[in-house]
Structure 1
Amino acid sequence: MNTLRPLLSLAAGVALVAAFTANAAELSPAAAAQHAQASYREYFDLLALPNDAIVPADVRKNVEFLEASFKKRGFTTQQLPNDGKPMLFAELPGADPQRKTILFYMHLDGQPVIPAQWAQKSPWVPVLKRRTAQGGWEEIDAAPLFSGPVDPEWRVFGRSSADDKAPIMMFLAAIDALKANGAALGVNVKVVLDSEEEKGSPSIGKVMAAHRDLLRADAIVIHDGPMHATNRPTLVFGNRGAAKAMLTVYGAKVPLHSGHYGNYSPNPAQRLATLLASMKDEQGRVTVRGYYDQVKLGDAERKIMAAVPDDEAALQRRLGIAKPDRVGANYQEAMQYPSLNVRGMASAAVGDKVANIVPDTAVAELDLRTTPDSDAKYLGKLIEAHIQAQGYHLVPGAPTDEDRSRYEKLATFSYQSEGGNAAGTPIDSAVGQWAYQAMVAAFGTQPEPVRIRMMGGTVPTAQIVEALRVPFAIVPLVNADNNQHASNENMRMGNYVDGIRTIYSLITRPF
């Protein structure tokens, strides 16, 4: 599963699509918009339910709401026990043994919120906004969303409006369209909704293994992550994994008066900064020996990545940076390598809580984005060796008096997987061809759907695949600038309508 091979030739792909779609009836944009509008009230009601995975009662409310939504559309459902935060399984009855079965994965939980950071009454009170002439966002009456003409550029703001409640509602709206049209399924349809994806899906493998027969499928489609920035139909064949690492550098036993001991007792904050700086060069490339050695990119892989229509100048303007790190030749290539990111640092205090001290400790928390060929253990051992090469003696916790008397530089370093391992599937796999054909059937080839070798974010693909042993494809449906995980998360209405068309095409296409 972890081998990524070059894609089919364009000519072969187009020939397959032509043969496959000759008699297919697609959902028109107008029909998709109609079914989208019919689902918006339910979508708002779902967004009004807090869904942080650390609150089991809130998770259960979301599960119960969505179980009722699936049942209303004729699905059989089953809550999968998970320590008070059940996952939800749903299946359309009448499975045909002559059809292949697709398991659609989405998640119903969301990231925590800090309400004060949101430009609205509450992250749990969804609102409709439009862009102003100055480029900002202004709230508008949501009534037209439910009964009038809808501007595709309007956006719904609220936690999980994009990640990942929108794809769930798009899926339900696509089922409504299927039933309204009397259309035939091309595949047997199963759905599983994760309840802890934003916490790294710690139980997804265990839950799936316990219900392997129930979840049995021929392939998995994962509706998570952002589409390409062009909003063209997007198909992704892999994702990086996530690991976290903690690095603590020790100074004196206790914080010291900076007047009496500055210039004498080494400052752990300064040493930590120097140690972290030794891990990257001025181009942003990791200098830890061997860090990139396992990534092998040939001409075929680089051709795939070069075909992705990234506007890097626009991306840099949106990010507000003058120049990107040079880990890869372009954005797509950068995503193929493992990363080393400092996501937080702490030592003593700043601002109105600052004191004139030499701190006793300094801590950095790192996140490492892993790749199929460079897992957390591999990267963690390399960083550990690098720290030791800088003259540090590593201790498992706070150093003893003996440690302090023997070693000039003391540190603690630990690492662990967080949020799943990396995974990849061949771009010319059967599930990849099927999903690509469905997209072309729905949207055409002018422009062609975007195919991405591996996205930078993490979804629990590896755990799911390991449990079920079937191929996968990631089909993101939400706008790239949705602010997922941050304040003012939003969902573009044009993407919502197109997502319904994508899902409709997937479920009506034989695999």
Structure 2
Amino acid sequence: MTRDIAIQSAAEHYDSGRFLEDLGRRVAARTESQEADSADRLHAYLADEIAPLLKACGFTSRIVANPVKGAGPFLIAHRHESDTLPTVLTYGHGDVVRGYDAQWHEGLAPWRITVDGDRWYGRGTADNKGQHSINLAALQAALKARGGRLGFNVKLLYETGEEVGSPGLHALCEQLRDELSADVLIASDGPRVSAHRPTVFLGSRGLVNFRLDVKLRDGGHHSGNWGGLLRNPGVTLANAIASMVDAQGRILVEGLRPPPISASVRRALADIEVGGYPGEPAIDADYGEPTLTPTERVFGWNSLEVLAFRTGNPDKPVNAIPPSAFAHMQLRFVVGTDWQNLESIVRRHLDERGFTHVELDVERGVPATRVDPENAWVRWALRSIRDTTGMQPALLPNLGGTLPNDVFAHVLGMPTLWVPHSYPGCSQHAPNEHLLGPVAREALQIMAALFWDLGAGRPDAADAAGRQTSSSALS
């Protein structure tokens, strides 16, 4: 019973084809949570695909109805070995975005895996079926290597509505806070910083969308007869937006800017580069907050984006001053941003600059989360991955995107470690979504070793005593 056996067992699961077979069966399930008729398929994915595997691994599980009427169910599972052992909560989601069947490249389809070189095409391969399948297989490898024990307790929470905003997740965790309590969350979603570098992120940026409207009159008016006499709503709105974010992407609303980047976050981001890989867009080096590196801009700072802007009839413009204009705006933000007061901050900013004609409608937001990079659990995870791969993993204080991590960090009150198994070019949410086979194989080994290491002792004990098990870098 050694760490190397757990790593070898995980690699064999991949090399034998069993992992591809399991994932292929899961991808074939059309679990599109956006579709009104998906309820039975979402339930079946948990009950028929996930629950039997967990039972074989010594878990007890149950399907829990969503507190939100009409939303997809949850699966909660437990494997308890001792009250004296640490407890891990892990998470995944069985739903996927729509398949967009007709938009995939010739020879590809969303509901079957097609292997083309290193790429495994299929809906959910990257988000999230491939990722939670890796973690389940790694748990099996660690369990086998330790002769039927893990050396820690596991709680598992799967949802089927993450792609529609995780309805009911907050309410469920509020109701079952004691049942779902754990020492740490270890889960997988989102991309690595690159396909070649293992990554750990500790939270996610927050998100809040809002709409700006300028409604000046009923109907359009001839631009020759009335141009220069009537206020143009498109011009008004364009200037209002320009007062909020400049041409280089710098946020001009002081209340929407985050506090300065802390020293610990800056250290964590110092050796990380973003972009520059095949299939990724070229970074505009002079866009965004000046004095910050591109990495700091996306992982340590806020961004204010225009998602859509409309005035008049863009497809068939006419010689008329339009009556109205609107824009959909989005703020991505890090911890420390006063996002809950966004409405009053933006309203005051607009009014002080004479944009009283601009109406503001703010949607519900998602909080930002971040674990201290110096946390003992973080040091433990980084050491484990380094021992397995022979390379220093990238540490992101938070993901650039947004996950429902506030449920685990705030509602359940635990440190959160995310170890992603995808990469930035995976076409997540788009046609031709794919997982990279070599990354999946490495991820299986990383997670099997991580679970083995947890069974060898808590991170605080490991910090004091040093590693107590054998380890070897991947060959």
TM range (shorter): 0.7 to 0.9
**CA 1:71 to 1:423, structure 2 compared with 1: closer, same or farther past 3 Å?**
same
* Shift in Å, 1:287: 1.2
SS at match of 1:392: coil
2:386 maps to what in 1?
Answer: 440
Equivalenced residues, count: 445
- C-alpha distance 257-483 of structure 1, shift in aligned 2 (>3 A): same
Letter in 2 for 1:297: I
Aligned to 1:217: 182
- Pair 1:103–1:441, CA change in 2 (3 A): same
Amino acid at match of 2:337: S
Cα contact 1:240–1:423 (8 A) shared by 2:
yes
Q: Deviations over 1:13-62 (max 9, x none)?
A: xxxxxxxxx96335346852534620212312222223332335425413
Contact 1:162 1:478 (C-alpha < 8 Å) held by counterparts: yes
Q: CA deviation at 1:242?
A: 0.7
Deviates more, 1:249-258 or 1:466-475: 249-258
User: Which residue of the partner structure matches residue 96 of structure 2?
Assistant: 110
Inter-partner Cα distance in structure 2 for 1:116 and 1:259 = 45
The structure-2 alpha-carbon separation of the partners of 1:26 and 1:243, relative to structure 1 and needing over 3 Å to count, comes to farther
Once the 2 structures are TM-superposed, how far is the Cα of residue 247 of structure 1 from its aligned partner?
A: 0.2
Q: Give me the whole-angstrom Cα distance separating, in 1, the residues matched to 2:286 and 2:434.
A: 26
* Structure 1 residue 379 displacement after superposition: 3.5
Distance 1:497 1:478 in 2: 12
Match for 1:363 among 317, 326, 339?
326
Gaps of 5+ in 2: 459-475
3-state SS in 1 of match to 2:154: strand
Aligned pairs for 1:91-490 within 5 A? 91-120=77-106, 123-130=109-116, 154-181=118-145, 182=147, 184-292=149-257, 294-308=258-272, 310=273, 312=275, 314=276, 318-327=280-289, 329-334=292-297, 335-351=299-315, 353-393=316-356, 410-418=357-365, 420-444=366-390, 447-490=391-434
Which AA in structure 2 matches 1:126? R
8 Å CA contact 1:162, 1:482 repeated in 2: yes
Q: 1:117 deviation in Å? A: 3.3
Once residues 238 and 39 of structure 1 are traced to their aligned partners in structure 2, the CA distance between those partners, rounded to angstroms, is 28
C-alpha separation in 2, matches of 1:299 and 1:86? 42
> Scaled by the length of structure 1, what TM-score is found?
0.80
Runs of 4+ in 1 over 6 A off after TM superposition: none
Tell me whether 1:54 sits opposite 2:39 in the alignment.
no
For 2:440, give the aligned amino acid.
Y
Give the secondary-structure state (helix, strand or coil) at the position aligned to 1:469: coil
Provide closer, same or farther for how the CA distance between residues 442 and 186 of structure 1 changes in structure 2, counting only shifts above 3 A. farther
Residue deviations 1:184-215 (CA, integer Å, cap 9, x gap): 31321221112222222232110111222331
**Contact preservation (8 Å) 2:46, 2:63:** no
Native 8 Å contact 1:60 1:85 kept in 2: no
Please list the CA deviations of residues 83-131 of structure 1 after superposition, one character each: whole Å capped at 9, or x if unmatched. Answer: 343443343534222211100011222233544433246753334253x
Taking the aligned partners of 2:394 and 2:255, their CA distance within structure 1 comes to 32
Aligned-pair identity in percent equals 24
Work out the CA distance in 2 between the residues paired with 1:486 and 1:340.
Answer: 23
In structure 1, distance between residues paired with 2:143 and 2:184: 23
- Whether contact under 8 Å (1:115, 1:123) holds in the other structure is yes
Equivalent residue in structure 2 for 1:67, among 42, 47, 56: 47
How far 1:325 sits from its partner (Å)? Answer: 1.5
Q: Which runs of 5+ in 1 are unaligned?
A: 1-21, 131-152, 394-409
Code of the residue aligned with 1:455 in structure 2: it is: L
> Per-residue deviation at 1:172?
2.6
Cα distance, 1:26–1:442 mapped onto 2, change above 3 Å: farther
Aligned to 2:462: none
Letter in 1 for 2:89: L
2:65 is the counterpart of 1:81? yes
Report how far residue 460 of structure 1 moved.
0.8
**SS at structure 1 position matched to 2:443:** helix
Judge conservation of contact 1:174–1:503 (CA < 8 Å) in 2: yes
- Counterpart of 2:466? none
- RMSD in angstroms over aligned alpha carbons? 2.6
Please tell me whether the aligned partners of residues 103 and 190 of structure 1 are also in contact (alpha carbons under 8 angstroms): yes
Q: Distance in 2 between matches of 1:60 and 1:95?
A: 33
Using structure 2 for the length normalisation, give the TM-score: 0.85
Moved more, 260-269 or 111-120: 111-120
Query: Could you tell me how far apart the structure 2 residues matched to 1:454 and 1:31 are?
Result: 28
Residue 63 (structure 1) shift: 3.6
Please give the alpha-carbon distance, in whole angstroms, between the structure 2 residues aligned to 1:488 and 1:109.
17
> Partners in 2 of 1:464 and 1:56 — Cα distance?
28
**CA 1:187–1:415 in 2, change beyond 3 Å: closer, same or farther?**
same
CA apart distance, 1:427: 1.5
SS at match of 1:364: strand
Query: In structure 2, what is the Cα distance between the partners aligned to 1:423 and 1:454?
Result: 7
Displacement, 1:338? 1.9
Give the counterpart letter for 2:360 in structure 1: F
